Amino acid sequence: MARSGETEKLTGVQKAAILFITLGPEASAGIIKRLPEAEIQKITYEIANITTVKSEQKEKILEEFIQMNKAKDYLVEGGIEYAKTLLGKALGSQRAMEILDKVTEATQQFRPFAIARKADASQLLNIISDEHPQTIALVLCYLQSDKAGQILSELPEDLQADVAYRIATMSSTSPAVVKEVEKVLDSKLSSIVKSDMKVIGGVPTIVDILNQVDRTTEKNITEALERENPELAEKVKESMFVFEDIVTLDDVSIQRVLREVETKDLALALKGSSEEVANAIFRNQSKRAAASLKETNYMKSSKS
């Protein structure tokens, strides 16, 4: 094709164009006729500008299309957790989440109030709280249920009941009305919402990552954070439960933790730990379990 970048660098429209070429005119026609006219024009333009497509590229895009359709079916059958579980078993958790992100983004892209769904609940609350109850009800109907619930719970009590009643009795709304309300809301949000930005990173993210690395790496990173930004390092430490913290628990809590941990994982965690930690563990195990733990290769290597 004219654009010779890797498959990963292609836009969604470019991938759609290659997919339709791969599927052929008959199969593609049934899909294209269900798309918005603006998208049809974009895809048609891309198809017209494609000269050649590598077989490998066709296969990758077709595979992605199949995976996304499976994900869509799973979402309809059992929701996000069901879809994540089934896809995770087949493709791994990371790939499953990548596909689900694409599916949810694609399915919501052309729904009304797309920008509102990307806004924070607090931002939306500030904007719509003074609107007519019917307008608030309409907006909430198009939001994610958790976000709509958060906003509804923050409204004054008398307004909560009014909006809830209007949502419950709402059957249909003129597309023109929906479009007009969306236009006004988008205008108010435009100054505070960057629709293409996603919240990533932050303390929760680094804590999740550090909980997956070995203890040496974790120690190196936390020490570096302490030198660079002591306040940030403290926040990270407060959000983490490191293995050494087990000595701060009472015996009943330690026993509860030990019941959830496999012996091999516990032995690995004990490797290089302090005597105080080891004693806390052994003290809360049966004699047989403690003896078994001490005899593992992990414990032998830690003593050598």
Asked if residues 85 and 53 have their Cβ atoms less than 8 Å apart, the reply is no
Task: Kindly tell me if the per-residue pLDDT of 231 is higher than 70.
Answer: yes
pLDDT tens for 155-184 read 988 888 889 988 888 877 787 888 889 888
- Specify the pLDDT at position 189: 82
User: Distance of alpha carbon 218 from its chain centroid, rounded?
Assistant: 24
Asked if residues 60 and 7 have their Cβ atoms less than 8 Å apart, the reply is yes
Structure tokens that stand for 186 in this block: 């988008």
Taking the complete model, does pTM exceed 0.95, yes or no? no
pLDDT tens for 267-291 read 777 776 778 888 888 888 888 887 7
Task: Kindly tell me if the per-residue pLDDT of 10 is higher than 90.
Answer: no
- Specify the pLDDT at position 79: 56
Domain extents for the chain?
7-108, 114-189, 203-303
Same fold, 114-189 and 203-303: yes
- Specify the pLDDT at position 87: 62
Neighbours of 169 (CB within 10 A): 8
Dihedral angle of Cα 187, 189, 194, 199, to the nearest 10 degrees: -160
pLDDT tens for 28-59 read 777 777 777 777 777 777 777 777 777 888 77
User: Under CATH, what is the fold of the domain 114-189?
Assistant: Annexin V; domain 1 (1.10.220)
Pick the CATH number of 203-303 from 1.10.10.10, 1.10.220.30, 3.40.50.170, 1.20.1730.10: 1.10.220.30
